[in-house]
Chains A and B, each alone.
Chain A
Amino acid sequence: MVRNVFDSVASKYDLMNDAMSLGIHRLWKDDFVSSLKPGRRGPMKCIDVAGGTGDIALRILDYARETYADRETSVAVVDINGQMLKEGYRRFKKTMYHNTPQVSFHEGNAQELSKETFPDNTFDLYTIAFGIRNCTSIPMVLQEAHRVLKPGGTFACLEFSKVTNPLLGSLYDQYSFSVIPLLGTILAGDRESYQYLVESIRRFPSQPEFARMIQDAGFSTGGLFEGKGGAWRDLWGGVACIHTGVKL
């Protein structure tokens, strides 16, 4: 079902993201990647899951290149949906990374990554941005992430989360349930897919619950609180949130 939703949203995905978040998703993704500092300790092998249109992969490669003059860091972009990967491939064709070993595209399921293409203990960085809420079994995704990461590798997840401030929360709810499906109707001619997206955000576990799930998968995280030293960091009051963990 998720695959079908993303078939229909693929071509307008970036337009819809800009319209729905008023461009703010770009700030969130910039913050996410720069806080990870890819390339700081030398070239990294990264895997970006549910990364279809390549937003995060491109930022990782650009950051490594611009900050550390690193042209050896590579990102494997994995997505369950072929249409989304095609969009990502098209975007990368406009960059200098096309046809280089720095980027590769793979169709696959985050809950069950192919053991031939993605053997155990391969990657230094695993990222998943705005994708994990669409997966049926979050624990399975976390287990796979744990499997493919090297010991000492980082797991990082950017996702919509629970807003704690009640005023912001009610404004956000109004916006999500009224404006977003209508934007989907107007821009993409598709109300159902965007209704689904809004509902999937509401179903996602809260920040402490998700942090506990990450710990259960075998990652070492910060304390179960927000901010410096904590397992997560809220963006815009909890509208989005960055969870990180390290494989021991």
Chain B
Amino acid sequence: MSACYKTPLRSSIRAQRVFPSTILRTVLRRSVASKPVYEGHIPLNALENAFLAVGSAVMSLADPRRGDMIAALGETTAGPALPRLRDLMLENAEGRQILKDRPRVNSHTVDMDALARLPEGTFGRAYVTWLERCGVTPDTREPVHYIDDPELAYVMQRYRECHDFYHCICNLPVNVSSELALKFFEFVNLGLPVAGISAAFGHLRLSWPQRQRLFAEYVPWALKCGSSARSMITVYWEKRWEQSVQEMKKELGIWDPPEAKWPKALSEAKAAAAKRAAVPSHGESQSHVV
């Protein structure tokens, strides 16, 4: 079962050798904006891209609730990281299947009620429990606008939509400290610059005790676990709903971080899930309401 996947760190070192000439080539090629190639595509030339990168960085720090700005920052600073991730996906069978199917994650494509009925200990059940505990849905992800290649745009979209799966498998809630811990994890695991930028600046908004806890406990976990785990972008989460969470963590090389503060206790979430499982027909009609 353990195929040979290049670890993320080794690949990023290879990428760094081509980094300077890639930038020069990109800037020369992108002096004029191209035409839109997918829905929502907003082509930018190199200057506009730089302007938006700086502007979205400032705005993300000033108002962290602007999810669209963090998304824009990710897209404008992606650079060679996205082609590298796409190549990682192409190198393994599961990743290739994802690129072929291009699955999307939202409440229409994921049947929440079916997942809630799965046995305890499966990934699908754990995901629904996690959503319940944190009070979030998979529907709030900004679509990709500023990536010119449609396949790379999909890789970016996939990264954004799988973020909640990373939360779930790493057993982290959605508070600021946990999000930052996950950004450190994502940065060493996937190599996306925006994860590094968020990690480097996001902690400025924390209080001193929170920051100390972050760097003393979560960051070492994130760096160790993220760099040794398999690249998260190559995991076809939707095909693993029935897989046991423990088995999955062993396969991917992930272990739990220090215990975090959850908004809702596990028992509350379990009770809500049980109530939903007990009324399947009502739940069925609910999932089709737009």
User: In the complex, which residues of chain A have a beta carbon less than 8 angstroms from the beta carbon of B42?
Assistant: 191
Q: Which residue of B lies closest to A190 (CB)?
A: B68
A191 (CB) vs chain B CBs: closest residue: B42
| B228 at the A interface (CB under 8 A) | no
Q: Does B52 contact A (CB under 8 A)?
A: yes
Interface residues of A in 125-181 (CB under 8 A from B): 178-179
Q: Does A189 contact B (CB under 8 A)?
A: yes
With A178-B51, A179-B51 already in contact, the answer to whether A186 and B59 are too (CB < 8 A) is yes
Also in contact, A189 and B55, with CB within 8 A (given A178-B45, A182-B48)? no
Contact A185–B48 (Cβ < 8 Å): no
Cβ of B56 < 8 Å from any Cβ of A? Answer: yes
Distance in angstroms between the alpha carbons of A179 and B59 in the assembled complex: 16
Bound-complex Cα distance A189 to B66 (A): 8
Tell me if B47 counts as interface (CB < 8 A to partner A): yes
CB-based contact A182/B45 at 8 Å: no
Nearest CB to that of B66 among chain A residues? A189
A185-B66 contact in complex given A178-B45, A178-B47, A191-B42, C-beta closer than 8 Å: no
A182 to chain B minimum Cβ distance, whole angstroms, is 5
Q: Mark B52-84, 1 if CB is under 8 A from A, else 0.
A: 100110010000001011001000000000000
Say which size band chain B's interface belongs to.
10 to 19
The interface residues of chain A, by DSSP majority, are classed as: helix
Nearest chain B CB to A86 CB, angstrom units = 23
Interface size on A, residues (CB 8 A): 9
Give Cα distance in the complex from A196 to B72, angstroms.
21
| Chain A residues in 8 Å Cβ range of B45 | 178
In the bound assembly, the distance between CA atoms of A189 and B115 in angstroms comes to 35
A182 to B68, CA, bound (A): 13
> Is there contact, CB below 8 Å, between B52 and A189?
no
Shortest Cβ distance from residue B51 to the other chain A in the assembled complex, whole angstroms? 6
CA of A187 to CA of B59, assembled, Å: 8
Q: Closest residue to B58 on the A side, CB-wise?
A: A186
Question: In the complex, are the beta carbons of B48 and A186 less than 8 A apart?
Answer: no
Residue of B nearest to A179 (CB): B51
Bound complex: CA of A183 vs CA of B42, how far in Å? 14
Contact across chains for A178 and B48 when beta carbons are under 8 A apart: yes
Please give me the residue from chain B that is nearest to A174 by CB atom: B47
**B-side contacts of A186, CB under 8 Å:** 52, 55-56, 59, 69, 72
Contacts of A189 in B (CB 8 A): 66, 68-69
Q: Which residues in A have their C-beta under 8 angstroms from that of B69? A: 186, 189
Residue-wise, chain A 58-71 has the 8 Å CB interface mask toward B (1 for contact) of: 00000000000000
Task: Assess whether B52 is in contact with A185, with CB atoms less than 8 Å apart.
Answer: yes
The A79-108 residues at the B interface (CB cut-off 8 A) are none
Q: List 14 A-B contacts (CB under 8 A).
A: A178-B45, A178-B48, A178-B51, A182-B51, A182-B55, A185-B55, A186-B52, A186-B55, A186-B56, A186-B59, A186-B69, A187-B59, A189-B68, A189-B69
Binding site for B on A (CB under 8 A): 178-179, 182-183, 185-187, 189, 191
Known: A186-B59, A186-B69, A186-B72. 12 other contacts (CB 8 A): A178-B45, A178-B47, A179-B51, A182-B48, A182-B55, A183-B55, A185-B68, A186-B55, A186-B56, A187-B59, A189-B66, A189-B68
Name the 9 nearest CB pairs between A and B, nearest first. A186-B55, A178-B48, A186-B59, A182-B52, A189-B68, A182-B51, A182-B48, A186-B56, A182-B55
